[in-house]
Amino acid sequence: MRQGAKVRRTRPAIIAMLCLMLGACSARPPAEILAPTPPMAQTVAQTGAKTVKVYAVTTRKRDALRPYAFGAGRASDVQFVDFDISIPATHVSGQIQWPDDTPDPATDFVTLRQANIDRRTFLAQVNDRDVGVFVHGYNYSFQEAVFRAAQMGADAHLGDRTILFSWPSEAQLAAYMADRDAVDYSRDALVKTLTMLVEDRPAGGRVKLLAHSMGARLTMEALRQLRLQGQSRILDRLDVILAAPDIDVDVFRQQAAVIGPMREPITVLVASDDRALALSSRLSAGRKRVGAIDLRDPRVQQAVKQSGMRVVDISSIPTDSAAHSRYVDLIALYPQLEESGRIENPVSGVRQVGAFVFDSVGQTFDAIGEVLSD
């Protein structure tokens, strides 16, 4: 009985802590922001706004009352949908200008168009040589994921098309375990999505995959499954970046051992002061999360060397109080970093394997310890 009482006392405390650390107890954007606005092409043109197309591949169930939206229900098969999102000329890199009850393309992100499409149409429309895929993390609604994908597509100049893989997160702070189950539920779908995207690319084309937080767990499990299935030809055409991965360190070590060396080494973005991952560790009996490892530890440096990955400490980038979304600000810097020659492309990061620290002032990647050439 005492034990049950203790659980009842602790649960509200953990939720309150989540609210403080993630800043997510304020009103969240409703699904209605995905409803296409009345035609306003002329208004958009007059404001100088630009349009970003986002294609969503999702294992979420469609909202029965709002056909343009998807909730936390788990669909039996993947669904495809595309959106045209207007980005205001006043847009600040790394931020989303959320619309209110009356969306204004001069100041807000605005949904101009939405269409449900089939697999064939999807593949025909994402036929660029290279494509980018974003896999969101824990506590994300579908509308938040779509607008985040649009923001990154606009800031990182990844092209006119960005692909979102959206799994059925409950979008609730207290639903951490349910989200982890939803990630496992979506593994096969992500494997199929990556496979069809690679197979549909022209020779030399690549799929650039950015996964955040719990989405990194989903991504590593998909890569592991591809390796176990002998799908090296798929893995060889993937560029993968894991941002603040919410993965148990020991689990990650086993995943990496099965996946083995990638033709384009995986890039991992970490920050030891990530408070959201600190809480995730607490919820997981104190197990350390990969996204919060300390690269100053020589043992960690040695492990990085053996992994054949690029691991970059990005804790110097100013960010929110939870320090869990620095990847957004780093991606906003990518066009400048590409132009300077400091990185090769927005996903593969620095040109070498090893441990690095990103200096946000000098915008340089400084090596820690011994660095191995590709």
Residue 78: per-residue pLDDT: 97
Cα–Cα distances in Å, from 339 out to 246, 312, 318, 346, 360?
Answer: 31, 20, 22, 11, 16
Task: Summarize the confidence of residues 175-193 as an average pLDDT.
Answer: 97
Chain length of the chain: 374
Q: Would you say residue 2 has pLDDT above 50?
A: no
Using CA atoms, how far apart are residues 349 and 345, in angstroms rounded to an integer? 6
Other CB atoms within 10 Å distance of the CB of residue 200: 15
Portion of the chain with pLDDT greater than 70, in percent: 84
Give the model confidence (pLDDT) of 249-280 as tens digits. 999 999 999 999 999 999 999 998 898 898 88
Give the model confidence (pLDDT) of 40-82 as tens digits. 666 777 888 999 999 999 999 999 999 999 999 999 999 999 9
Q: Which residue has the higher pLDDT, 345 or 297?
A: 297
Q: Would you say residue 193 has pLDDT above 90?
A: yes
Q: Would you say residue 347 has pLDDT above 70?
A: no
> Which CATH number does 52-84+116-139+151-367 carry?
3.40.50
**Cα torsion for 278, 279, 284, 289, to the nearest 10°?**
-30
